[in-house]
A and B are shown apart, each in its own frame.
Chain A
Amino acid sequence: MWAALEILTQANFWAATLRIATPLIFGVLGALLCERAGVLNLGIEGIFVAGAMSGWLAVYLGLPLWGGVLVAALVGALFGLLHGVLTVPLGLSQHVTGIGVTLLATSIAYFGYRVAFPNVATPPRIEAFPPLDLPILRDVPFLGPILGQQTAFTVLAFACVIVLALVLARTPLGLALRAVGDNPEAVEAQGLSVVGLRLGAVMAGSALMALGGAFLTLSAFNAFYFGMINGRGWVCIALTVFASWRPGKALLGALLFGALDAYQLRLQTITGGAVPSQIFLMLPYLFSIAALVLVARRADYPRALMKPYFKGQR
């Protein structure tokens, strides 16, 4: 029992929490940006895969690490454009299109990998983002070792939370984005472009999702594996509801999920096989479901979410 609580005092546990949470932070921010504008983007799982693959491949082919990050974002934006064009001006079902984008992006990423590396047994590796070496902070007890295990990519995730929160709350663009997800007619009547705003939001949101994928291949690991995304995108969709479409709460939700995942991994070693490991693996997902049951019933969905808008029609 004591050992189970002791986990919480280990710097290692908190470092792992941040590491697990980082891709989720990107994913939830991306999903909430799309949904705030009124578009559900279930392409997220595939966009994670495409971001992971393309970012990694770009670095493998010789681009600097930040070049890989940029490539991943561009690839994400491109899939966002596809999802956006199908769901915004053409008004197709957002569920069906999103699943289609996930299947397409996943398959293209796997196919691209196979074409690039037809005959490899072990996945080729790259030089991933190095851990941060912070001049003063590294000497701070407890905090130092936690931060010392993180990379600049995690810092970028936190920066994105702050930027997105500010944009949504404080700028004319954020105002228009919040409005277009609630009542597109209001936006149209004020002379702004519903299609432009939604398309832009979906592209930017998808770029963020792709960064979540790229973190895994460029920072957490140094190679691309099949199946490495493993449902992280879907978790983000659930966390978006948990976060009530707010960047600050998105950060909280991602950290909470990360902590649970890190915790169950350590719990497995403590119990030493007395309990099947699958039970522990389920824990974070059970938490997601429980949290959704509690939160989602009162959730204040963007009113125009999943409702296509056609000009001149009410």
Chain B
Amino acid sequence: MIAPTAPDQPDRTPHHTRPLVLSLSGITKRFGNLVANDVISLDVHAGEIVALLGENGAGKTTLMSILFGHYVADEGTVHIADAGGRLAPLPGGSAEAALAAGIGMVHQHFTLAENLTGFENIVLGTVPLWRLGFGKAAARAKVARLMKESGLEADLGVPVGRLSVGEQQRIEILKALYRDVRVLILDEPTAVLTPQEADSLATTVKALAAKGLAVIFISHKLHEVLALCERVAVLRGGAKVADRPAAGADRATLAELMVGREIPARERMPAALGAPVLHLAGVDVGAPGERDRLEGADLELRGGEIIGIAGVSGNGQGALAALVAGLKAPRRGRCEIIGQVATRADPGARLAAGVGRIPEDRHRDGTIGALTVAENYVLETLADPENQRHGLLRRAAIRTRASQAIRDYDIRCPGPEAPIRALSGGNMQKVVLARVLERAPRLILAHQPTRGLDIGATTDVHRRLLAARGRGAGILLISEDLDELFALSDRIAVMHAGHLSPAMDVAGLDMRTVGLMMAGHSAEEAA
């Protein structure tokens, strides 16, 4: 039994007549001087899908962590309905209590043990540790029933590390359902899915809600929120600034509620095409057995255009990025970068030729956490006379220029001498962006440039990339976010299993076609 209502009688009454399952009232949480949650109240009813919107740092994570027992609220209470439908206070600070009370959460980063099978992950923690056996038969029967009822399908017999992201997510949801949740929290569930997978997830969530499950849906993708949710709650700066029905809301209003100011529209002005900056003809990168490889890639990118590379990560995007950045050499074929034929792995030569790199993982490859903002800012130009003289760093000059960049790019940080690891993801990315754009590169490799950033920071990155395009730079934009690709790109190529499709003009291109191609269909099949 998933919910207090009988599964065969879907509850279609408006939410205010449906029973309340979760009630947060006056939740306040402070970290030092920072008020992460400021008197937030939120009611969720059975069968309701509520969207929780907010920028990074708006307090969504803190609120959910309180609900989940990771943090204890300074003020306020959480009430949750028991099996009989009566509201009872939830003791704070205990994940076990939250689980027992029927709160389930599917995190953006899955909490699956990859060496265990799907079945083992689902039953983990549901049987007392000191028992000798599992009661496997009963558990399997229950999982099979849940799979049938919810339409969630996944191979439960192999280690989950071998499954696709979509399958792993379905196992995460089954894991929650197995514990008879009454409230299911989905944190950015579609961030890693293809459009088809996202559609099937939406169908599942609607079916579960129809059976009385209350769903809290956290997402940045506003069109999904509007299509799926009945009610939208918006957090900003730790406080709830809106709680309204989804009907009648539009993307622009919601985005403005989240950011607190008007969002400048990003406009792709026509730009004059320049000389080719990247030319690939039959290029292989990586050994044939490798997962992240490139096979027979053909591509021409010219100055003044953005080519988007769509695809689920790990299908060869890493190899393509490494090739352009000079971290890997082409194994076969001809690769020309800004007029030079690239035969060896030579990152320094690429920089010198005018390639700007925005790496996929800004923490691992984009910045060095222990160094200061100023030091990170000049990392790629240390040899320039303006940064060093006789082998000694010109610290004062570097500091001045970094301060200038901090002002120009609106980087929120304590100053140029602050260690960069103290910055938020969005501000860190601005440092990387400033470093890249300062050199007026002719070819920009933007690998997932807005992953994990909120709307404000994302718009900023987009604006600056479009401006660089306007100045004549050619941009290779590798992204999993189709909205982003369609908003920025002039042409889009799809990557699947190491193969790169021809770049297709974005005008007249359908997002669903791209989605099918991401899943391995050819352009003809997908069209």
Chain A interface residues (CB < 8 Å from chain B): 170-173, 175-176, 178-180, 182-183, 185-192, 300, 302-303, 311-312, 314
Contact = CB atoms under 8 A, between A and B. Distances in A.
B65 A175 contact: no
Contacts, number: 80
A189 B105 contact: yes
Nearest to A304: B113
Given A171-B132, A187-B113, A190-B125, 9 more contacts: A170-B132, A172-B127, A172-B134, A179-B115, A182-B116, A183-B111, A185-B107, A187-B125, A302-B115
B115 to A, nearest CB: 5
A302 B159 CA distance: 13
B123 A185 contact: no
A186 B121 contact: yes
A182 B120 CA distance: 13
A191 B96 contact: yes
A190 B71 CA distance: 16
B114 A188 contact: no
A250 to B, nearest CB: 17
Nearest to A189: B111
B261 interface: no
B115 A178 contact: yes
Interface residues of B, number: 31
B133 A190 contact: no
Interface SS, A side: helix
Contact of A173 (B96, B114, B121, B130): B130
A187 B124 CA distance: 8
A178 B107 CA distance: 21
Contact of A186 (B96, B99, B124): B124
Interface in B470-504: none
Contacts of B128: 172
Contacts of B114: 182-183, 303
Interface of B: 65, 70-71, 95-96, 99-100, 105, 107, 109, 111-116, 120-121, 123-134, 175
A188 B113 contact: no
Nearest to A313: B70
A93 B521 CA distance: 48
A186 B112 contact: yes
Given A175-B123, A179-B124, A187-B124, A303 B132 contact: no
A189 B95 contact: yes
B130 A178 contact: no
15 contacts: A170-B132, A175-B123, A175-B124, A176-B125, A185-B109, A186-B112, A187-B124, A189-B107, A190-B111, A190-B126, A190-B175, A191-B95, A191-B99, A192-B124, A312-B70
Contacts of B175: 190
Contacts of B112: 183, 186
A32 B111 CA distance: 23
A264 to B, nearest CB: 37
Contact of B113 (A171, A183, A191, A311): A183
B107 A176 contact: no
A48 to B, nearest CB: 29
Contacts of B130: 173
Contacts of A182: 113-116
A312 B71 contact: yes
A182 B110 CA distance: 13
B70 A311 contact: yes
B132 A314 contact: no
Contacts of A171: 131-134
